[in-house]
Structure formats: C-alpha cells, structure tokens
Amino acid sequence: MIDKMQPKEETRPSALLLLGPTGSGKTPLGQMMGKNGLWGFSCLHFDFGQEMRNSIQSSNTYLAPEEREFVSHVLNTGALLDDEHFPIALKIFQGFLRTHDANKRTIIVLNGLPRHGGQAARMEEIVRMLAVINLECTPETVMQRILTDAGGDRAGRIDDSLEEVKRKLDLFYLRTVPLVDYYRKKHIGIISVEVGIESGPAEMLQKIEYSAAD
C-alpha cells in the first residue's frame, strides 16, 4: 500500500527552451551549453532545424519517404510544423535522444521546438520543462547581427535575405512570442536575456548562470 502511495518517478528528461528571433544567437548559445553545461548539469543541444536536415540526409533515417518529402518542403519554405504534423517532430526528437546519452544530470536544450502553443502542449508529455530562456532582440538588432555574423553561425546561409528575415520575424512574433505567456501561466521560470549587436554566447551564458527566473 505504501508503495502505491509513493509518487511515480519522473521519467521525462529535463529540458529548457531557447526562445529568440532569427539571428539572436540561439544556436551558438545552445552549442556552448552543450560544451560547458549549465547550473552544474551537462547539456545536450537539440537544434531542431539541424536535426530536420539530418533526417533527410541520412540513409538510416527513421522517417517514411513521404515524411522526408514533407520535411524537405518545410526546410525549403521556412514553414512551421503545425499540430497535425507533430508526430514527425516527435520522431526526430526521439531519434536524437536515442543517439545521445542522457541521464538525470542532463538538460536537453531545446532550440526550435516547440515554436507555438500546440507543440508546447504536446512536448509537456515528453519533457519536464525547467525554464525558458528568452533572448530579447529588436528587429533592428537582428538585422545588424545577421549582417555582421555576430553569432558566427550565418556563413553559407541562403535564408538571410532581407525579405526572408522579415518573414521569419513576422512569424516569430505571431506564433512563437506567445509561448512566454504560455509558460509563465504554467509557472515555468522565464529568464530574459537582452541581446545586443555584439552579444556572443559566452556573455549570454554568463548572464543565464547568474540570472533568476521571473
């Protein structure tokens, strides 16, 4: 009887979410977290965009041919995976977990998933969200950071035209920014980091290490 009354052990991996507009430095920051860890925990950086690219390039992909075709379309058009396509996102995330070692002292750094409320609700079934790191970056700063490659991750990008960046920003403010309020209502801590034109991942990580979530 006592055993039945004990709470079930948490089996979901711990995670935090990187939020920020294109060019704000999410990927360099996630990579540095993966290298250096955070708050005494090791980190695994899950870059959803990169994992989507990997899923259609690998001969050992776990996606069906029609799913690979759809992912290719998403990558080519910059569209979001909506709720009805979440099973594809789930396959990609589970494939990532299978190929990386994670334990109770590991935080999954989510970069690019979830990107809207529908995905966030589904991800609650899979990960235990510890905090949201909100990289605050104005559109003007985004443009300057992309022009100067402030994060060091824009080389070879073919999606940094003025029109494409504006489209991404519009989509971000419409669909992704509301996640801040979504998680705040869930009592998930929000750590806001102001990003300037020259802000690099080391500076951002230091602010996160010593910041208190609101």
Domain boundaries in the chain? Answer: 2-209
Fold of 2-209: Rossmann fold (3.40.50)
Predicted TM-score (pTM) of this structure: 0.88
- Using alpha carbons, select from 12, 87, 96, 83 the residue that is nearest to residue 49: 96
Report which residue type is found at 87: P
Structure confidence at residue 104 as a pLDDT band (50, 70, 90):
confident
Whether the CB-CB separation of 93 and 81 falls below 8 Å is answered with no
191 pLDDT more than 60: yes
Beta strands 42-47 and 106-111 are parallel
pLDDT digits (tens, 9 = 90+) for 20-36: 999 999 999 999 999 99
Stretch 112-128: mean pLDDT: 94
CA distance 53 to 211: 33
Say what the pLDDT of residue 5 is.
42
The whole-angstrom separation of Cα 133 and Cα 205 is: 10
Q: Are 80 and 115 in contact (CB under 8 A)?
A: yes
What was the pLDDT predicted at 2?
37
Tokens of 58: 């690998």
Which among 33, 31, 52, 55 has a CA at the least distance from the CA of 43? 33
pLDDT at 1: 32
Quick one: how far is CA 33 from the chain centroid? Answer: 12
Task: Write down the pLDDT at residue 165.
Answer: 87
